[in-house]
Amino acid sequence: MLLPALARAKEKARRASCLSNLRQIGIGMTVYAGDNNDYVVEARAASGTASATVKGKYNQHAVNTPQADMAKSVNLDPTITNTASIWACPSLGQGSVTYNATTTPPQWNVGYQYFGGIYWWYNIANGNGIESRSPTKLSRSRASHVLAADLVCKDNTTSGNPWASVSGNNKVAHQRPKAQYPDGANHLTVDGAVAWIKWEKLLQITTFDTSSRLFYHYQDDLGLINQADLPYLKIRP
């Protein structure tokens, strides 16, 4: 009886710490936007240059080197790999923030999903990309737009647990008891609120690779995503 109760208590503490991390990311990006014409730091553009007028895929699991330096300016350093980091979910811990020098430009993988500056969404129903509802310029974003969320990704390239390998240390964020996958995910919205969304409600809204990296989160405002597409985007074990 004691072991399950202890496990629940530990997970409750991890969720509280995770919530605090996400709120700090929200505060930092709001400060950054205040000094930079209301724009937040951008997630990694995974297909070269992407902008409001040029389509391109984004990796919400990473930031490029220039953007990492921008985040540092508001005490959101995504380059910390050897100690506890605001960019690492407590469920994933040290090792979920890593440096990848093989990409051009080099990137920092983080232990959350980060949606700042993502102008285009790509998913298994919209492979050609559609205009996103992710925050770019805060004054143009709705309060309910998701700025960051727990790392929920199905890695179709691994022979192990597909919900663990992308974390960098083979762990699942907020893992559901007796399951391979998370119990849900914390979501930070533009208004600074953090809400817990159950696993069953998550959607494959955007990713940089629809064949191997299926990222999941939830947002009320889905913009150009067609209601008919929603059954294809629902999360599955």
Q: Where do the domains of the chain lie?
A: 2-232
Looking only at Cα atoms, what is the longest distance across the chain?
57
Rounded to 5 degrees, φ, ψ at 4 are -60, -40
Are 172 and 184 in contact, with CB atoms under 8 Å apart? no
* Tens-binned pLDDT, residue by residue, of the chain (237 aa): 555 666 678 888 898 999 999 999 999 999 999 999 999 999 999 867 789 999 999 999 999 989 999 999 999 999 999 888 999 999 999 899 999 999 888 999 999 999 999 999 999 999 999 999 999 999 999 999 999 999 999 999 999 999 999 999 999 999 999 999 999 999 999 999 999 999 999 999 999 999 999 999 999 999 999 999 999 999 998
> Contact at 8 Å (CB) between 213 and 166?
yes
Collapsing DSSP states into helix, strand and coil, what is residue 203?
strand
- Whole-angstrom CA distances from 67 to 130, 135, 225, 230 are 24, 16, 28, 32
**Within a 10 A sphere around the Cβ of 100, how many other Cβ atoms?**
11
